[in-house]
Chain A
Amino acid sequence: MFPYIGNTPDDEQKMLEAIGLDSIDELFDDIPKEVAFNRDFNLDLSKSELEVRAYLTEMANKNCSLDDLTCFLGAGAYDHYIPSIVNHIISRSEFYTSYTPYQPEISQGTLQYLFEYQTLICNLTGMDVSNASLYDGGTAIAEAALMAAAVTRKKEIIISKTVRPESREILKTYAHIQDLRVIEVDMKDGVTDLEKLDSLVNDDTATVIIQSPNFFGIIEDIEETAKITHKVKKTALITSVDPISLGILKRPGDLGADIVVGEGQSMGIPLSFGGPYLGFIATSKDYMRKLPGRIVGQTEDLDGKRSFVLTLTAREQHIRREKATSNICSNQGLNTLAATVYMVTLGKEGLREVALQSTKKAHYALEKLTESGKYKKVFDKPFFKEFVVTSDTSPDKITSELRNENIIGGYDLGKDYPQYENAVLYAVTEKRTKAEIDKLSSVLEGI
């Protein structure tokens, strides 16, 4: 017997009789012999929970858990603290064992938290409309770019080289299938070169994409970028943001961004070796009916009670089929709930405090690391929680020396930016203590 299967042999017999068959095998008589699978899978036999747990625990122990190490690695995924409350709420089976809220009468829990999530994302970014989430920050940029291209009916996408390299790679993959051109605009002193951008924006530009804080942690001039972008009628500015930074930084919506996207992992979602995370997208009313993915709206029921439903489905694949704005037919569900719980638990003061402490600790770390002159800062620009330093030592050596002291070091920038060989990008969240930063500094000094 298998613990997840509820029929007894006696049940099976009765069921076969009701169907009018003699054996289980007859249930598969419709599979032609030429395509039937006639051997056993080359897999182990079934196992007990005890055996599976032992096997996988041993496997997990081959990884280095951040529970045992101090993490200064970021580059798009961050070690912020996750309050206990998050896991407790997302572990309620009413949330995690339900599916897409097709039946609003018995899905008001899901629908309402998605409505709350949409509100929180709009409030944080300064936009009118948010969907109920996308896969991750990288694909959110690509989806936003396709949306802008569809709305403007233009073929060219300009993206800054200060946008996270992997996001740019994903964008190129998506752009290729829609025959859109991707043009990368250079950077200058760690930020988008706005003069060059100005010379590139033209009548065929569907969108300009920047990230702020950018891949180096530096705050971009969104307002000026918006002015340049909007010189051409209809061209949209997409801004990718770290939602934690919005605890202290101006909202992109107030600075002229048309579409705001980002990675929500920082808000209560574990690092989990890269996923599942949470992509968010918010935009102005103009784009509402072209926004990809699920959207929840408020309405009334038969008795006039406030209730929530999936809405604007005329954009979606199950209605529009080949004319849909995107093929997306789900959202990040439970991770959306995690981010919602995170945002409301931290609330007005908490999110600001996380952002402030991360900034102050990151600036302390830069100060400390560059004290002796062995490590030098690469850029002299305002930054949030990440910064770049360079030295004569190779990043590989630094990583392994830090690893010996139970520290996960920063990201080797030379991999993506050959001009910054030996430069390392460090991230400092509110979780890091002064003692941990001092230790990082002293280990680095000793290399």
Chain B
Amino acid sequence: MAEYDKLIFEISKPGKQGYRLPPLDVEDIDIEKFIPEEFLNKEDLNLPEVSEFDVIRHYTNLSDKNHGLDAGFYPLGSCTMKYNPKINEDMARLSGFANVHPLQSEDCIQGSLQLMYELDKALCEIAGMDKMSLQPAAGAHGELTGLMLIRAYHEKRGDTKRTKIIVPDSAHGTNPATASMAGYKAVEVKSTEKGLVDVESLKKVIGDGDDIAGLMLTNPNTLGLFEKDIAEIARLVHDAGGLLYYDGANANAILGHARPGDMGFDVVHFNIHKTFSTPHGGGGPGSGPVGVKKILEEFLPTPTVEKDGNRYFLDYDYPNSIGKVKDYYGHFGILVRAYTYILTMGRDGLKKVSETAVLNANYLLSQLKDDYYLPIDSLYKHEFVLGGLKGELLEATTLDVAKRLLDFGFHPPTVYFPLIIREALMIEPTETESKATLDEFADAMKQIAEEARTNVKMLKEAPHDTIVRRPDEVKAARNPVLKYEG
């Protein structure tokens, strides 16, 4: 069959319809009797005209152009592409969860509130925190909410000279972006040669500490290394009067082995779509609940879910709240999936998740380090970062390795991040992949390394077998075409 290359607009044909409504059963009065002509659009809508089957065939053909996790390995570092259990999808689609309006009266939403209440408690236990807000829509939104909480804490104390948030140079780009968005100046702290926060450098950045609002940290960090000095880091920041923010992007590494609350963090977010198995959905919707220690509870966004006897209710009584950060109560449908996962895995399964994720990462690393440069030789947690192919004189780059991997049916790792590692390849296998899959991937990576030495053209011209090859990103940005013009 010829490759499908149409846009939906290009299969539109006047007169086609994909949908019909029942006949109008109230009196059919001319719309102009209700709405003055000046407000009405007299022109045809600029939308396609297609049959229902046209739509199904079009999007089925488009789906064929995607690599999904269900089809193959997806070791995208820092994204935790673990299996998305199917029962999660079924539970979120239960009529009692999916077909409920957010503003129904309290007696009509007891099931939703119970789920949120129980999830709040479970996430607190997993994080070592005292109270959650399930509202944030995504990890970045959780970060923003977290910094708003830190800001509210300082403001209530009248401590308004704290203008800086410390962020390690290995941090995800959202951390400094969030700090700016929350009205702070992001200041960088360097990493040591071992890839960890440099405590001496941190002391210098803190200085006398008067202007430090807090520190944002991922632990294990974006290199996949556990910040072993975390207790000392927390003490330094707290002594300076700042608070600690835990970016939960890498929480899949430590379930049941360490908790951010015990490390000294005051506020955390979890990426529900990473650690708790909800689908990444081509980019979303995610969910980024935030947990806090007691000192920050009074500032949480409203409402929270509380329980009085057997009755669950929405609590808006937070006079010092930062306010609303999100419509309604958060991404409830995603929360249902996460709670399904937590119930399924239980305390034993969650611990096994991290143990297997870490085992898989270290095993895969052991299979690759002969052919790929390992900038920091260490025990890793759930992911590790390679510094491109071994051999200084090789022409092939990390980008070439990534593109060649496509020919083997693998999604490439995260590339060129973190920024502090040259030619970075950030690999996170997750616990749901088996040894057999890791071995296949390692074999492909070894073959690519061999090609780089003997037949570099194979890499430079890769990918060979995909439907498109290295689309021109420079052209896209220089001359933006952002919609179909016909």
Interface check B105, CB cutoff 8 A: yes
Interface check A187, CB cutoff 8 A: no
Cα–Cα, bound, A128→B485 (Å): 11
Given known pairs A105-B406, A311-B476, the reply for A295 and B482 (CB within 8 Å) is yes
Q: Which A residues are CB-close (under 8 A) to B60?
A: 89, 92
A63 and B108 form a contact (CB under 8 A): yes
B349 and A46 form a contact (CB under 8 A): yes
B475 and A299 form a contact (CB under 8 A): yes
A63 and B112 form a contact (CB under 8 A): yes
CB within 8 Å of B: which of A165-200?
Answer: 166-167, 169-170, 172-173, 176-179
B324 and A43 form a contact (CB under 8 A): no
CB within 8 Å of B: which of A21-42?
Answer: 21, 24, 27-32, 34-37, 40-42
CB within 8 Å of A: which of B225-254?
Answer: 225-226, 228, 230-231, 254
Contact of A299 (CB < 8 Å), options: B107, B301, B332, B471: B471
Given known pairs A61-B111, A178-B183, A246-B41, the reply for A363 and B480 (CB within 8 Å) is no
- CB-based nearest B residue for A299: B476
A105 and B403 form a contact (CB under 8 A): yes
CB within 8 Å of B: which of A47-104?
Answer: 47, 49, 52-53, 55-57, 59-67, 71, 73, 75-77, 79, 83, 85, 87-89, 91-104
B474 CB, nearest partner CB in chain A, Å: 9
11 residue pairs bridging A and B, Cβ less than 8 Å apart: A40-B351, A43-B346, A85-B52, A89-B60, A123-B46, A130-B482, A167-B327, A313-B477, A319-B173, A330-B140, A347-B16
Contact of B411 (CB < 8 Å), options: A12, A64, A106: A106
Cα–Cα, bound, A383→B408 (Å): 57
What number of residue pairs across chains A and B have CB atoms under 8 A from each other? 661
Interface check A392, CB cutoff 8 A: no
B480 and A297 form a contact (CB under 8 A): yes
Q: Which A residues are CB-close (under 8 A) to B349?
A: 2, 46
B207 CB, nearest partner CB in chain A, Å: 19
A347 and B19 form a contact (CB under 8 A): yes
Stretch at the interface among A151-159, A231-239, A354-362, A369-377: A354-362
CB within 8 Å of B: which of A91-142?
Answer: 91-110, 112-113, 115-116, 118-120, 122-124, 128-130, 132-133, 135-139
Q: Which B residues are CB-close (under 8 A) to A46?
A: 344-349
Contact of B359 (CB < 8 Å), options: A15, A67, A79, A317: A15
Interface check B367, CB cutoff 8 A: yes
Cα–Cα, bound, A301→B45 (Å): 32
Given known pairs A100-B282, A311-B473, the reply for A94 and B180 (CB within 8 Å) is no
Cα–Cα, bound, A95→B282 (Å): 6
Q: Which B residues are CB-close (under 8 A) to A104?
A: 468, 471
Stretch at the interface among A203-211, A269-277, A439-447: A269-277
Contact of A273 (CB < 8 Å), options: B109, B125, B339, B403: B109
Contact of A275 (CB < 8 Å), options: B49, B182, B330: B330
Contact with B along A379-412 (1 / 0, CB 8 A): 0001110000000000000011001000010010
Q: Which A residues are CB-close (under 8 A) to B330?
A: 274-275
A306 and B111 form a contact (CB under 8 A): no
B476 and A298 form a contact (CB under 8 A): yes
Q: Which B residues are CB-close (under 8 A) to A320?
A: 173, 177
Interface check B422, CB cutoff 8 A: no
Cα–Cα, bound, A64→B69 (Å): 35
Contact with A along B79-119 (1 / 0, CB 8 A): 10111110101111111111111111101111110110000
B279 and A109 form a contact (CB under 8 A): no
Interface check B209, CB cutoff 8 A: no
A7 and B329 form a contact (CB under 8 A): no
A408 and B176 form a contact (CB under 8 A): no
- CB-based nearest A residue for B438: A15
Cα–Cα, bound, A328→B178 (Å): 9
Q: Which A residues are CB-close (under 8 A) to B264?
A: 35
Q: Which A residues are CB-close (under 8 A) to B140?
A: 317, 327-330
CB within 8 Å of A: which of B147-201?
Answer: 147-148, 151, 172-174, 176-183, 185-186
A248 and B31 form a contact (CB under 8 A): yes
Given known pairs A63-B111, A130-B483, A341-B59, the reply for A110 and B282 (CB within 8 Å) is yes
Contact of A349 (CB < 8 Å), options: B17, B231, B329: B17
B280 and A97 form a contact (CB under 8 A): yes
Contact with A along B456-477 (1 / 0, CB 8 A): 0000000100111111110111
Interface check B453, CB cutoff 8 A: no
B252 CB, nearest partner CB in chain A, Å: 13
Interface check A337, CB cutoff 8 A: yes
Q: Which B residues are CB-close (under 8 A) to A227?
A: none
Given known pairs A124-B47, A302-B470, the reply for A63 and B39 (CB within 8 Å) is no
A113 and B481 form a contact (CB under 8 A): no
B18 and A345 form a contact (CB under 8 A): yes
B35 and A219 form a contact (CB under 8 A): yes
- CB-based nearest B residue for A313: B477
Contact of A41 (CB < 8 Å), options: B52, B347, B381, B406: B347
Q: Which B residues are CB-close (under 8 A) to A422?
A: none
B344 and A49 form a contact (CB under 8 A): yes
B152 CB, nearest partner CB in chain A, Å: 9
Interface check B434, CB cutoff 8 A: yes
B326 and A135 form a contact (CB under 8 A): yes
Interface check B433, CB cutoff 8 A: yes
Interface check B386, CB cutoff 8 A: no
Given known pairs A53-B87, A331-B283, the reply for A400 and B346 (CB within 8 Å) is no
A437 and B26 form a contact (CB under 8 A): yes
- CB-based nearest B residue for A292: B181
Contact of A347 (CB < 8 Å), options: B49, B282, B476, B480: B49
Cα–Cα, bound, A112→B471 (Å): 13
Q: Which B residues are CB-close (under 8 A) to A14?
A: 435
A93 and B90 form a contact (CB under 8 A): no
B19 and A19 form a contact (CB under 8 A): no
User: Which of A21, A46, A123 has the most CB atoms of chain B within a 10 A radius of its CB?
Assistant: A46
Interface check A242, CB cutoff 8 A: no
Interface check A284, CB cutoff 8 A: no
Interface check A378, CB cutoff 8 A: no
A347 and B18 form a contact (CB under 8 A): yes
